Amino acid sequence: MRLLTALACALCLVQPTTASATATRSWWRPGPLQSWVYVIGENYPLTIPPLVAGKKTKVQAVDADLGDQDGLTPSGVPVADPAIERSIKAVHAMGGRAICYLDAGTAENWRSDYAKFDPSELGRPLPGWQGERFIAVSDWSKPVRPPHETLETIMANRVALCKAEGFDAIEADNVDAYTYGDLGGFKLSMRAEATYIERLVTLAHTHNLAFFLKNEVNGDGLIRLLAPRVDGEVDEQCWQYNECGALKAFVREHKPILEVEYQDVASTALCPKARAFPMATIRTGLSLDGRVTFGCWQPPGR
């Protein structure tokens, strides 16, 4: 898997950026982080401060779903949901930052803009995730017939919705589809995926949002290529699968690593190596409802 109408603002967000606007762009450049929580799905309103080890605990970052309660109108204009806006304001009042989870490599049939994807650009289902199909991301600006929209337009509107909701960054999921081989009538190379990610990074920065890469621990150099360009990394289960070494590229770049483990592991076994890495590691359940079993920034034994 590894979600007030802002019409005038949203319309301006998806317009081409002028040279003068480019000069004034300013997005969150986080640097190393120690604490965070992960909340995917329609879990609004968020519990802020979140529950960590059963207690309300202030954290530096909350990674939460874009949401889809109102989402995108038929014309593609972002419509911010008041419950999501209030939750993001609560994150900011806590002193934290909010990261907007969105799926960029697969199309989910429960999202309000699913019908905007041209069927010819959708591939086979993502293994293990019902309702998700791979996207031919190389077709970034390929013309499509109405009522379908280009992938560029769909992603621009999603990022604009993150901005309208008040988020500080985006997390782009499933952007490692090239590792799956045949995606259902098409394949992707690492270079094509890297180009797509670069486009998403530019899109996020144009909207003054930071960009967090997701996973990509593939042993093929993509992380080393992108670590200088992105603003941080969200990783799943690198300790369980002995993959954390690839994330050293982000340490060298002084970029944050937000890592989540789903395995049943004790904090005393996990946290010493996570703190030494360093990375912000949490242990939580697969439901990703915001409740964290423990965070490695807490005192030993918690």
pLDDT for 10 beyond 50: no
Architecture of domain 7-14+27-295: Alpha-Beta Barrel (3.20)
Q: Provide the pLDDT confidence category of residue 72 given band limits of 50, 70 and 90.
A: low
| Helices and strands counted in the chain (H then E) | 8, 16
**Closest C-alpha to 78, from 191, 157, 169:** 157
Instruction: Output the furthest CA–CA distance in the chain (Å, rounded).
Output: 58
Q: Which of 53-67, 71-85, 119-133 has the lowest mean pLDDT?
A: 71-85
Are residues 5 and 79 in contact, defined by beta-carbon separation less than 8 angstroms?
yes
pLDDT score of 74 = 63
Domains of the chain, by residue range, sit at 7-14+27-295
Q: What is the pTM of this model?
A: 0.89
pLDDT score of 156 = 94
pLDDT for 6 beyond 60: no
pLDDT score of 78 = 73
Q: Which residue has the tokens 């560029």?
A: 152
pLDDT digits (tens, 9 = 90+) for 217-263: 988 899 999 999 999 999 999 999 999 999 999 999 999 999 999 99
CA distances from 232 to 6, 135, 184, 214, 224 (A): 28, 24, 31, 9, 13
Are residues 165 and 4 in contact, defined by beta-carbon separation less than 8 angstroms?
no
pLDDT digits (tens, 9 = 90+) for 137-191: 999 999 999 999 999 999 999 999 999 999 999 999 999 999 999 999 999 999 9
